[in-house]
Amino acid sequence: MPLQDITYTSLENQIIEPHNFALLCRRMPNIKIFSGSSHPDLAQKIVDRLGIDIGKVVTKKFSNLETCVEIGESVRGEDVYIVQSGSGEINDNLMELLIMINACKIASASRVTAVIPCFPYARQDKKDKSRAPISAKLVANMLSVAGADHIITMDLHASQIQGFFDIPVDNLYAEPAVLKWIKENIPEWRNSIIVSPDAGGAKRVTSIADRLNVEFALIHKERKKANEVAAMVLVGDVRDKVAILVDDMADTCGTICHAAEKLTEAGAVKVYAILTHGIFSGPALSRIINACFEAVVVTNTIPQDRHIKESEKIKCIDISMMFAEAVRRTHNGESVSYLFSNVPY
């Protein structure tokens, strides 16, 4: 088929094979993808998938630790995507993202999209006590003021964060990739039960349980203070079943390790944990190593190379193809809703 005969609508619900991406990218002029310093590996995988080169940018710090960004090529009239995850030195990386957005905007980029696989400050999304800040709203305001025209992210801690923005937000889901991993790597998945480690994740686990046609359970937890769990109550029957804990993120891993103990005590034969954002700060890795997990599965929204080396239990699902496909569809003016229930191959 001649290239000019391929229409956008014909691609609406199709996934382009990797070997066709280079050909397709002739139809993707005026696109530039830049990487911040938080996750260059993910950005490289995205551009490799799209068959284009990563944009030239230099990020450095002055001696007083101010962030300096130099965009190394023209972005005038271009559709710009900046990949920066909320991981590592979060405050420095957030400031770097804001400066990169602003640098591209005042250099006459036609549109600037922030690709933020793990949204920073997402847990501070409501006033849960007196005088508490709603920091996720503040971050949304900062991104908008810096000049972002569009946000692409994955598994927001709370979906209503999308409403903090007055610009379009595409919140992708790791669920299709998680379902694929479960079916390919857990032989006994038909005898499994999907478990949420807190009541807030009930909607997430019921969706996965429905698509696998298995039962679900949840654990009610009470916190004394942040990162410390006081008591846990299991709601559901896990006896003689493979328990699969599903959550959007794990930080110090206190919750999922306590949950794993509770499930084992309740008679679960195996326990897996599947998490979208594996932050793994503080004592997280030592807790995982000493816990009774068969595997702790995370996506690469946050760099996981060091964690995988330190613990054989940690497995990684690559979601770069989902972001690459979202970028391609956004650039070509196509719908991204196909990605909410399908994994591009």
For residue 86, the number of C-alpha atoms closer than 13 Å in the C-beta half-sphere is: 20
Q: Per-residue pLDDT for 275 more than 90?
A: yes
Q: What confidence score (pLDDT) does residue 232 get? A: 81
Band (225; pLDDT cuts 50, 70, 90): low
Residue pair 327/172 in contact (Cβ under 8 Å)? The answer is: no
Q: What confidence score (pLDDT) does residue 10 get? A: 41
Q: What confidence score (pLDDT) does residue 141 get? A: 97
Coil, strand or helix at 301: coil
In the chain, pLDDT over 70 holds for what percent of residues?
89
What tens digit of pLDDT does each residue of 18-41 get? 555 555 544 567 999 999 999 999
Q: Which of 338, 334, 341 is nearest to 9 (CA)?
A: 334
Q: Using CB atoms within 10 A of its CB, is residue 242 exposed (0-12), middle (13-18) or buried (19+)?
A: buried
Q: Per-residue pLDDT for 226 more than 90?
A: no
Residue pair 77/110 in contact (Cβ under 8 Å)? The answer is: yes
Question: What is the distance between the alpha carbons of residues 252 and 256, in angstroms, rounded to a whole number?
Answer: 9
Strands 150-154 and 169-172, sheet pairing: parallel
Q: Give the largest Cα separation in the chain, rounded.
A: 64
Question: What is the distance between the alpha carbons of residues 244 and 265, in angstroms, rounded to a whole number?
Answer: 15
Full-model pTM: 0.88
Q: What confidence score (pLDDT) does residue 221 get? A: 72
Q: Per-residue pLDDT for 59 more than 90?
A: yes
Question: What is the distance between the alpha carbons of residues 201 and 263, in angstroms, rounded to a whole number?
Answer: 17
Q: What confidence score (pLDDT) does residue 192 get? A: 95
Residue pair 160/124 in contact (Cβ under 8 Å)? The answer is: no
Coil, strand or helix at 64: coil
The more confident residue out of 227 and 29 is 29
Residue pair 250/282 in contact (Cβ under 8 Å)? The answer is: no
Helix H or strand E segment including 266: none
What tens digit of pLDDT does each residue of 179-223 get? 999 999 999 999 999 999 988 888 899 999 999 999 999 998 766
Q: Per-residue pLDDT for 276 more than 90?
A: yes
In the chain, pLDDT over 90 holds for what percent of residues?
80
